[in-house]
Structures are given as structure tokens and as C-alpha cells.
Amino acid sequence: MEATVPDIEVTTDTSRFDIETIHTFLAKSYWASAIPREVVERAIAHSLCFGALDGNRQVGFARVVSDRATFAYVCDVFVLESHRGLRVGKSLMAAIMAHPDLQGLRRIMLFTRDAHGLYAQYGFGAAQYPERLMEVLDPDPYGAGG
């Protein structure tokens, strides 16, 4: 039996996003466990976001935090289980990398636990100078106990 690849549309039109689907997925993810809906809404409002739609159904999402001049951070990327293996992640990443506001940047970064192969196809690799990278990290920002 062969899986049928759906006709996925990637859009930055946030009025078409299913915020409930996005919040439900992120709140159960390893990186944003228990994130409040209002935080998701605020993050979407202040970021360049990409929604993957199968018809009108939200099946994937990605968010880019950027000054749109020198730097971007790709985050909150996901594809619903029902659509994994159908090139939805590739569609999202292709749209991000081709977006006119994200051209000519000095650096685009992301963190991933398990999708290195996907991101490598779009030029991502290990940090050139990991010893220069620093962070302030709150391991439990939403009180999830994690």
C-alpha cells in the first residue's frame, strides 16, 4: 500500500491557522511542554509563522523569530503524526528558506533533538563556534515540572 502525498499549501496568513491544533501540539512537545495558549498566541503574533495546510486542516507549523536583516531563529516546527513522511516538513523548510524576508541573513539557527537529517538538507549543520554560544535557560518556564 502506498501513501498518497497530500497537496500541502504552506501559508504565512495567520488568519488561516488553527491555533487550537498548534497549541495542543506544542503543549505536549518536548520543547514547550505545558505552554499556555496565550503564550502561543503572543509568539505567533510577534513572529513570522508558516502553516502547512491539507485543505483547510492544519497539519504542520513552523515559527521564525527574526529581525529580518541579519538573524533568524527557526523554532516550534512540527508535523502532525498523520502527515509525517509525506514531505510536509520539507515543504515548511523550503518555504522558510525561500521567504523574501529571510534572504541575505548572516545567521539562521535552530535547535533539534531528532530532525538533523531534515535540516541538513537546507544547509544547517553544527555551530561553527559552539564555544561562543551562550544561553539563559529556564528548564521549566510553564511550571510543567519538567
What digits encode the pLDDT tens for the residues 76-93?
A: 999 999 999 999 999 999
Distance CA 94, CA 122 (A): 8
CATH of 8-123, one of 3.40.630.30, 3.40.50.300, 3.90.1300.10, 3.30.750.80: 3.40.630.30
What digits encode the pLDDT tens for the residues 35-53?
A: 999 999 999 999 999 999 9
Determine the 3-state secondary structure of 96 from DSSP: helix
Burial 83-122 (b: 16+ CB within 10 A, else e): beebebbebbbebbeebeebeeeeebebeeeeeeebbeee
User: Which of 45, 81, 80 minimizes the C-alpha distance to 63?
Assistant: 45
What digits encode the pLDDT tens for the residues 99-117?
A: 999 999 999 999 999 999 9
Alpha-carbon distance values, 141 to 33, 67, 93 (Å)? 9, 24, 27
Predicted TM-score (pTM) of this structure: 0.93
User: Which of 52, 43, 45 minimizes the C-alpha distance to 11?
Assistant: 52
